[in-house]
């Protein structure tokens, strides 16, 4: 009994140790977004709260917490309040299987990749229910767009992941990273290059980020699904979106860029020179790179029109993934080196 209690306490501590840095990262990702997009557009971004604006996310959080939560008269009260939680839950639950290092994880399950795919596919419920429960036309249009978009891009995303598990021969995220050991050229970005690109694009669409943010589309449907939300109930949607961005970035780093493996592996001098750097630093650097890409894309591209979005998803991304799955399958069977000759 005492043993069970101790295990429970340790697991809870692990969860807290993961979630607190994650929430801080989410807060400072919003700050980074405003700063980086500001610089890209020739502005400076927030700079008045705290030294050089560094306390801006804290001020934003305090503001959101103390604002009144308004529930529209015609809204379905229960579902209206449930929707933000349904958006937040999956984006946190997926972190349960993320390995941050070879021995740094909360759980290490066999079907980790499948679990991540299943859990991230649930985040669409928050958006649909929010749109419907608000009893507003704008919100409902946003929700419908989002539902169609997420279901379509999930197929391309799932096929890209099938390519990864074919290449690694495992659905365990830790083993997927270990299968990329060797050098920078052993990472899966090279043999799975089309899938890597497709995965990142589908990830942009899954997280409802520009240029796929039709569910929000502030120029046509005001703010889409969260138009009726205020205060912290809006804040939770916001947190979920940014937590999802970090999740997708880290997954991309784990599956295609060798996770916590050092980029200098296999290079004679540099390898030993940088061997003191802990693996998590490399993982976080790679994750930050993809987060920067997220922001960069948002500052660069205009929003897709709805029919363009569907055409890109169904007629371009999905055929690419199917064709490349055949190539990967042949390469694995043929034992193409240096990636697939080990097994």
Partner 1 sequence: MSFEQFIFYLFAAAMLGSAMMVITMRNPVHAALSLVLTFFSGAALWLLLEAEFLAITLVLVYVGAVMVLFLFVVMMLDINLARLREGFVKLLPVGVVMALLVIGMMAYVVGPENFGLEKFAEPVGHPADYSNTKQLGRVLYTVYVYPFEIAAVILLVAIIAAISLALRKRPLTKHQNPDLQIAVRKEDRLRIIKSDAKKSQPANLEDKR
Residues binding partner 1 (CB under 8 A): 4, 76, 79, 109-111, 114-115, 117-119, 121-122, 124-125, 128-129, 132, 140, 143-144, 147-148, 150-151, 154, 171, 307-308, 311
Residue 169 or residue 231: which is nearer to partner 1 going by CB? 169
Residue 76 or residue 183: which is nearer to partner 1 going by CB? 76
Residue 143 or residue 295: which is nearer to partner 1 going by CB? 143
Nearest to 289, CA basis, from 239, 317, 248, 321: 248
Residue 119 or residue 251: which is nearer to partner 1 going by CB? 119
**Rounded Cα gap, residues 28 and 330, in angstroms:** 44
Residues contacting 24, CB < 8 A, separation 6+: none
**In angstroms, what is the minimal distance from the CB of 64 to partner 1?**
27
> What are the angstrom distances between the C-alpha of 9 and each of 3, 20, 103, 107, 164?
10, 16, 19, 15, 35
Residue 40 or residue 79: which is nearer to partner 1 going by CB? 79
Compute how many other C-beta atoms are within 10 angstroms of the C-beta atom of residue 147: 17
Residue 283 or residue 312: which is nearer to partner 1 going by CB? 312
Residues contacting 2, CB < 8 A, separation 6+: none
**In angstroms, what is the minimal distance from the CB of 38 to partner 1?**
29
**In angstroms, what is the minimal distance from the CB of 169 to partner 1?**
10
Phi-psi region of 222 (alpha: psi -120 to 50; beta: other; left: phi over 0): left
CB 150 within 8 A of CB 205: yes
**Rounded Cα gap, residues 143 and 12, in angstroms:** 34
**In angstroms, what is the minimal distance from the CB of 281 to partner 1?**
30
What ranges in 53-136 are assigned the alpha helix state H? 56-66, 77-93, 112-120, 123-133
Residue 121 or residue 288: which is nearer to partner 1 going by CB? 121
**Rounded Cα gap, residues 283 and 110, in angstroms:** 21
**In angstroms, what is the minimal distance from the CB of 160 to partner 1?**
15
CB 171 within 8 A of CB 162: no
**In angstroms, what is the minimal distance from the CB of 225 to partner 1?**
12
**In angstroms, what is the minimal distance from the CB of 12 to partner 1?**
16
């Amino acid at each position: 009994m005492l043993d069970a209690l101790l295990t429970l306490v340790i697991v809870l501590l692990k969860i807290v140790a993961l979630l607190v840095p994650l929430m801080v990262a989410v807060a400072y990702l919003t700050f980074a977004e405003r700063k980086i997009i500001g610089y890209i557009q020739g502005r400076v971004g927030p700079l008045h709260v705290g030294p050089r604006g560094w306390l801006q996310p804290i001020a934003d959080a305090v503001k959101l917490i103390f604002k009144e939560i308004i529930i529209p008269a015609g809204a379905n009260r229960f579902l209206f309040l449930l929707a933000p939680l349904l958006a937040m839950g999956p984006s946190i639950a997926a972190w349960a299987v993320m390995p941050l290092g070879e021995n740094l994880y909360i759980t290490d399950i066999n079907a980790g990749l499948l679990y991540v795919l299943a859990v991230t596919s649930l985040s669409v419920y928050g958006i649909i229910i929010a749109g419907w429960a608000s009893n507003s036309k704008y919100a409902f249009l946003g929700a419908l767009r989002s539902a169609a978009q997420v279901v379509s891009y999930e197929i391309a995303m799932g096929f890209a992941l099938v390519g990864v598990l074919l290449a690694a021969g495992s659905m365990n995220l830790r083993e997927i990273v270990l299968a990329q050991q060797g050098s920078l050229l052993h990472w899966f970005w090279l043999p799975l290059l089309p899938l890597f690109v497709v995965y990142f694009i589908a990830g942009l669409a899954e997280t409802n980020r520009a240029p796929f943010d039709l569910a929000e589309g502030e120029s046509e449907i005001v703010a889409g699904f969260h138009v009726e939300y205020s205060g912290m109930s809006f804040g939770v949607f916001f947190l979920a979106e940014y937590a999802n961005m970090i999740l997708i970035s880290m997954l991309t780093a784990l599956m295609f860029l060798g996770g916590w493996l050092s980029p200098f592996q296999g290079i004679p001098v540099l390898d030993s020179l940088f061997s003191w750097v802990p693996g998590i630093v490399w993982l976080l650097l790679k994750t930050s790179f993809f987060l920067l890409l997220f922001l960069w894309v948002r500052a660069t591209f205009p929003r897709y029109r709805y029919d363009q979005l569907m055409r890109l998803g169904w007629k371009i991304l999905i055929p690419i993934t199917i064709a490349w799955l055949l190539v990967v399958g042949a390469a694995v069977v043929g034992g193409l080196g240096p990636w697939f000759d080990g097994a």
